[in-house]
Every structure is written in structure tokens, then in C-alpha cells.
Amino acid sequence: MKIVLLEDVKALGKKGTVVEASEGYARNFLLPKKLGVPATAENLNTLKLKKANEDRIAAAQLAAAKELAAKVEAASVTVKIKGGENGKTYGSVSTKEIAEAVKEQLGLEIDKKKIVLPEPIKAFGTYEAAVKLHRDVQAKLSVKVTEA
């Protein structure tokens, strides 16, 4: 029986492929668990339309991420933190504080989990933080740490 897989199935195939499966395996496992549908002309057309729609959405998300990356790279944020002698800070600057500063100063909503610091910021100065906006798009954010 020919089946179009809706999910990846180990030892059978990847999502969206048409595979040949035994009648019993298809009827008793793949179809009830919604892992696949029979490979009829109607189902194939429906899946092609769904794939085209997903591709359009992915392209729109990529374009939005690139636009946001351009805004992030053009700007810099200033984070104020209490400090002691010799340019040392009390504690370190976290990604949460950087995300809040971006929201306040730039008006952009960036999740703190998407900001990557190569090492903790424990001194005053200017640093680069990577911002992962999309699987294929990464921007560099300039973070200036000053004494409060």
C-alpha cells in the first residue's frame, strides 16, 4: 500500500515522502497514529498545497528576521550596572538585562534566550552579543556597559 508520510518514521522515511508499506503496518500503525495517509491523488494535491503554503510562510519569516537583523546591527544599547573600584561590576550583565534594554531603548521585542554572550560581562566597556533571530539569520548587537 502506498502511503504519504505526515511525520518522520524511523526505518521507513521522512515527512512528505511516498513510501510502500505493507497493508497491516499501514492499517494498524501508520493510519491510526496519523503518521501517514493513503497516497491518493486528492491527498497528494492537498499535501502539495500545504507544502507551498509552508514555504511561503518560511520565506516571510526569513525576510522579517533579516529586516530585524538590520535594525539590531545598526543600533547599540546601553546597560547601567552598579560597580566598584578598578572598573569591576557587582555581578554580571545577563541576557535578561540586555533584552530589557533593547525593549526600552530600541522598542524591539527580542527573547532573552536568543541573545548569546560568548562570556559573562563582568566589567565596564563595549561588548558584542550575538542575537539568533532565525535558523539562518544571526545579528551582532553592540552592548555598552556603564556605571549606574
Q: Which CATH superfamily is domain 67-147 in?
A: Ribosomal protein L9, C-terminal domain (3.10.430.100)
Long-range pairs for 113-120: beta carbons < 8 A, 24 or more residues apart? 115/141, 120/92, 120/93
Amino acid at 8: D
The residue among 127, 70, 141, 135 whose CA lies nearest residue 99 is 141
Is 0.85 topped by the overall pTM? no
**Does the 2-63 domain belong in CATH 3.40.5.10?**
yes
pLDDT digits (tens, 9 = 90+) for 53-107: 989 999 999 999 999 999 999 999 999 998 877 777 888 899 999 999 999 999 9
